[in-house]
Amino acid sequence: MKTIIECGANNGSSTEHLLKMFDGDVMVYIIEPTHELVSKHLYPKFGQNPNVRICQFAVDVENTFKEFKVASLDKGAADWGCSSLHDFSDDIHEKWPNRPDFEFTHKYVVPTMTLYDFCRIYNITEIDYLWIDTQGNDFNVLLSLGDKINIVKSGKCEVAENVELYKNTNNKSEDVLKWLDEKGFETNIDRGYYESDINFTKKEKLNLSTLLYTNEMYFNLNYITVPHLKNSLNGIECDINIVSNKFPEHEKFDGLIYHESNVEIMGNGGQFRDTILYALENIKEDYIFLTLDDYIFVSPFKKDRFVNLIKILDELNGDFISLASHKHMDEYYIPHWEKPNIDLEKYGFPKDCLYIMNDRYKHMLSVQPCIWRKSTLIDIIKHNEKLSLHDLDTLNILNKKGERRTIQPGNLLHDDVIGFYNYGLKNYCFSYPYMTYNIDERPPHSDYLIINYLEVIRHGKWMGEHVLSGRMIRDILETEEYKSLKDKLTIFY
């Protein structure tokens, strides 16, 4: 059954429209505080309708009782539709002339409730359409949802344009548009001179979750990493998960999902295995964008290409795409690897820039930023007790028979044993110069294919100033935004 919540139903004409728009299996919750409208229009029209519930209260940002002002018919109003929790602006008749109905004649106290609590009390888990016309209180209706804004699919909201009809309201169109965009909605606005209507629809969410891996020792890096990651995602609709063996006492990062495995730090880094497995088993999406606490993204992701990586993996039935350049392999090896049979140009990529990774390659499962099919990563992890991050990065893993390959120090390729890693892996990488590993492997300010980032830690300390990333992280730390963090980051100097 479709669920519609109509905040501000007036005389019920909009309710009739909504019932037709969602013809059939629908429940419309009318929320209208004006007694005159409820008794003279809404109950006579819909009181016996099994698809309508009439709720007489006002939606607001708190659950309490408030004075409600009524604009009466004897002042020229067509109905009581200008009634509000708010007073009219003092100069409203100058800014909006020829409206004698902009005057209140009486008032009474009404209960107020947040939409968050309304949905909680009545077990509403999905709102297919949210109609808001609450006379200056429209933005507050949205704010009253709290994190239940995530259950809203679409809706319509009245906002102020050039004139604020009521006093002490925060209902300007630009503020509501900005908020809806931040909450992941596509919007379009029907502009009027005095008031406008914003139509909003939830953006399609990727079948991918971002997973930022950290640990209790390195956690403070995330005071820099997280803001840069959130900014660089560039409107890409996906959850951001942060996973650690333990979370030390810290300021809460807004908008992140936390996964704490409560595994003790191990000398060989073996806490990685159980920690990341704990997070993966609690993430519902099928694909993972894996990144680490010492990778700082410094430019917006190329959104269309990033989103299309999932489509590429789907078409190829692939398991892994590395977003590292593997520049050290490119000159001699990668150009000789096979290319997948796929039209990359339809996904916005240069022709012939994607290669099938050779399973002899030491960094076939590099933990530089990458996309994983979640089920494949879980399969590998479950076959490797006490797996460390470094083990995964250097292919120091067991196959399904419990066998491990060795590699000579300094070599990049294992011995040629066909099909040794019997996980059925289909792994891919991009070829340099189409892909850039990080800012140290290309000229400054040059373009990048999908992502642009710094790796800022090496052997537990900041990168040295002999490389560009080392100089850039020091410049970041000297900005006003991050100067105050130096005490939290002393272990990295």
Show Cβ contacts of residue 227 under 8 Å, excluding neighbours closer than 6 positions: none
Q: Is the same domain home to 150 and 77?
A: yes
Report the number of distinct structural domains present in the chain: 2
Both structure tokens of 90: 């003092």
pLDDT at 439 over 70: no
253 and 176 within one domain: no
Burial (CB count <10 Å: 0-12, 13-18, 19+), residue 409: exposed
Comparing 293 with 485, the larger pLDDT belongs to 293
Residues 113 and 240 in one domain: no
For residues 183 and 319, state if they share a domain. no
Q: Is residue 13 located within the same domain as residue 151?
A: yes
* Last residue within a domain, chosen from 202, 222, 250: 202
Calculate the average pLDDT of the chain.
90
222 and 362, same domain (yes or no): yes
pLDDT > 90 in the chain, percent: 60
Instruction: Tell me the pTM.
Output: 0.67
Q: 335 and 466 share a domain?
A: yes
Tens digit of each residue's pLDDT (9 = 90 or more) over 383-393: 999 999 999 99
* 405 secondary structure, DSSP code: -
CATH number at residue 162: 3.40.50.150
Q: Could you read off the pLDDT of 235-292 as tens digits, one per residue?
A: 788 999 999 999 988 777 878 999 999 999 998 899 999 999 999 999 999 999 999 9
Query: Would 419 be classed as within a structural domain?
Result: yes
Identify whether 493 is part of a domain. Answer: no
Which of 171, 202, 233 marks a domain boundary? 202
Same domain, 220 and 347: yes
Q: Which structural domain range is residue 299 located in?
A: 208-487
Distance CA 329, CA 429 (A): 11
In whole angstroms, give the CA distance from residue 259 to residue 256. Answer: 10
Is 379 domain-assigned? Answer: yes
Surface-to-core class of residue 41, CB atoms within 10 Å of its CB (0-12 exposed, 13-18 middle, 19+ buried)? buried
In a domain, 363, yes or no: yes
Whether 178 and 252 share a structural domain: no
**What's the confidence (pLDDT) of residue 360?**
85
Same domain, residue pair 108 and 231: no
User: Which of the listed residues 174, 202, 230 is the one where a domain comes to its end?
Assistant: 202
If asked whether residues 408 and 462 sit together in one domain, one would say yes
Instruction: List alpha helices for 1-46, DSSP H.
Output: 13-21, 35-37, 43-46
Inside any domain, residue 366: yes
Residue 492 in any domain: the answer is no
Two tokens at 485?
A: 């963090």
Judged by DSSP in three states, 214 sits in coil
SS3 state at 320: strand
pLDDT digits over 12-56, tens only? Answer: 999 998 998 887 789 999 999 999 999 999 999 999 999 999 999
280: Cβ contacts below 8 Å, ≥ 6 apart: 211, 288, 374, 377, 378, 381
pLDDT number for residue 434: 58
Model pLDDT for residues 55-86, shown as the tens digit of each residue: 999 999 999 999 999 987 665 556 787 888 99
Q: Please indicate, yes or no, whether residues 279 and 192 belong to a single structural domain of this protein.
A: no
